[in-house]
Structure 1
Amino acid sequence: MKAVGKGVTLVELLIVVLIIGALTFITIPKLAMTVVNLGRSQTGAERMAAAIRHCRTLSISNASTSPQGFRLNMTGPPSGYTGFQIVNVQTGAVIESDTIAENVTCTGANDFVFGPLGNRTGDTDNLTVSGGGKTYVISVITSTGMVKCTLQ
């Protein structure tokens, strides 16, 4: 009786392994970049919310020396801000400044002004942060100055 070969040869096995390796080499970096871009908008929104909270904290903690409060000004064109500055309203001194990540777009409110009690004065509009397919809205409750960052 003659034996029937039902296995695969070493060459066939190596070809399959090479094809799977090539597909993995191409696919994994694309997936990783997608995940990175999704995280950038969240990080950008959280950084902006933290900066607005910091501006409010400065207004409260320096109420006796700066009774007019502090302002966070967005810098760059309204179609996509490139950064922000925290300014002492009374002296006009820039306390802090930072930039916004390249793949993140910020639009909306151009400033956030906080009085000595931590309340927001002036405008009541929101800041929209988007990138990587996600959009976050940063809003400030006028009476208390509480900053909210919500996913849309």
Structure 2
Amino acid sequence: MDMGVLIKLVGGLCMLGIGVRQALQTPLLRRAGVRSPGSVVRMHREWNPDENVWLYAPVVAFHDEHGSKHEFTADISTTWTSHQRGEQVTVLYPPGRPEVAWLKSGAHTGMRLVSAGLSAILILVGLLLLGSFVRGLLSAG
């Protein structure tokens, strides 16, 4: 088998797999869901030795539709403090599933859009490589 054909096959499968995995890990971008007011109770700070920076993520408290209190750390960290302690924020979650809540804010929505865009690019490149692989097989056969 030609090395170029093998690269197209393996590269296409890898790019497609990474893109799909990344897309599945990206929190929902849609506006549907239960909205609940919340507040930032503190900032979670974590050292990232690979990048040699501190990462910050707001810890948010809110009450679900049944009045139960919940607290979560935002799933996206930034190198700056995107929110201040005591700041009022909007929390979104699927009905009946407050344990998978996420923060609705400009910075976090922007990061999700970037993640979704990168996933789309990886999937597209993977499909193009696989299409080129199949086209090469059909023309050789």
The TM-score with structure 1 as length reference comes to 0.31
More RCO (CA 8 Å, sep 6+): 2
The TM-score with structure 2 as length reference comes to 0.33
Between structures 1 and 2, the one with greater helix share: 2
The higher radius of gyration belongs to 1
